Each structure stands twice: as C-alpha cells, then as structure tokens.
Amino acid sequence: MINIFIQIAGLAISFFLFQLLGFDPLKISETLTQSAIIIGFGVALITIADIIERNKIERFKENISIFYSEIEKTKPWRRWPFLKRNGIKKLLSNEIITSELKNPEIPFDVGTHEIKVNLPTVIEDFFDLPILKDYLEMRKYHTAFLTAYSNKMSKKHNEELLKTHSRYECMYDILKTAILFKTGRLLKIFGISITIGSALVAIFGRFIT
C-alpha cells in the first residue's frame, strides 16, 4: 500500500514541479528543458537511494554473519526467498494446502518482562515482518535491558551474559539497518515516479492542462 502511495505522490510532485516552472505545453523547447531539470532531480534521488540500499544491505549481511558465526556460533537459519510468508493453494482434487513461514524470534529480558523480536534474514523479510515495531520496542527498552544486564553482571560475570549483550546490540543494528534500507527503497520508488511523471507530462501535457 505504501509503495502505491509513494508512486502516486511522485507523479503528483512531477506535475506540481512543471506548474511551478511555468509549464506551457505549446512551448516545446521550454517543456524539454523543464523535463530535463525534473528528470535530473528524479535521477539524483534514485542515485542517493541506490547508495543507501547498497550500503545498508552490506551492513545487514555482515551483521547476520556475525550474529550466527560469532555470537550464536550455530548454523544460520535462512528464509528461502522464493517461499511466501503465507500461502494458500487449491489443488485439482479441491484440497487446499496452506503454509505459514515464521522467522526465529529472539527473546530478551528487559528486567520487568521479556520481549521477542523477529530476526530478518533476507530482503523479503524487511517488507513482511514488523521491522519498525520490533525496532521501536528494542529502542524503548534499550536502557532497561542494559540496566538488567548490568545488575546480572555485577552478581555473576560470565561469557553467556556477554553474549546476551552482543546479541541485543547486533539485533538492534540489524533492525535499524533494515529500516534504513526500506527508506532507501521507498526513496528510489519516489525518484522513479518523478522521472516517469515528468516524461508523461512532457509528452501528454497538452491534453491534461
């Protein structure tokens, strides 16, 4: 839904920018110049978004690698991206097959209670897991977690507690990185919509003004 909203907003912004520049469909040379300016703006947004995406996906992959190989020291769980989160398939025999995919939930003791956050493992998880909700919850209880962790460390200093702290910080950064990646993706969609919108206005402007 948000992707559609961003696309519509991009198209609307491109039309608004033409109007701001004094769009006159009968003046072809001016229209081409205005279109080039707006397309340049759209391309700049796409370039910035692409840099954000590439930077964050590399950080995400590094964090996932650290989480499993150095913190958990176990075989990584990875979602197969070709599998849908929820699937319903009706067979020729009229039988219905349903499937539900669940990512690992990582629990954390924040002193007063325990919170659980979903671990994303592929880009598809960024868009169908409650990434923002989990991130805000970890951010909300960050200080509470550190307080509980500090109290435990003062009583018993061991490797397992150190691993718990590393696990929290790693998960926190994974979710933050996922949100920034999604922001970059939406910015890219917005830039593409502006570019397409400016081309459409330049071509069909005389029919819509």
CA-based torsion, 197, 198, 204, 205: positive or negative: positive
pLDDT tens per residue across span 127-154? 889 999 999 999 999 999 999 888 887 7
Higher pLDDT pick, 153 / 207: 153
> What pLDDT score does 31 carry?
65
Q: What is the mean pLDDT of residues 12-34?
A: 67
Strands 114-118 and 105-109: antiparallel
For the chain, the average pLDDT equals: 85
d(C-alpha 25, C-alpha 32), whole Å: 10
pLDDT tens per residue across span 72-123? 999 988 888 787 788 788 888 888 888 788 899 999 999 889 999 999 999 9
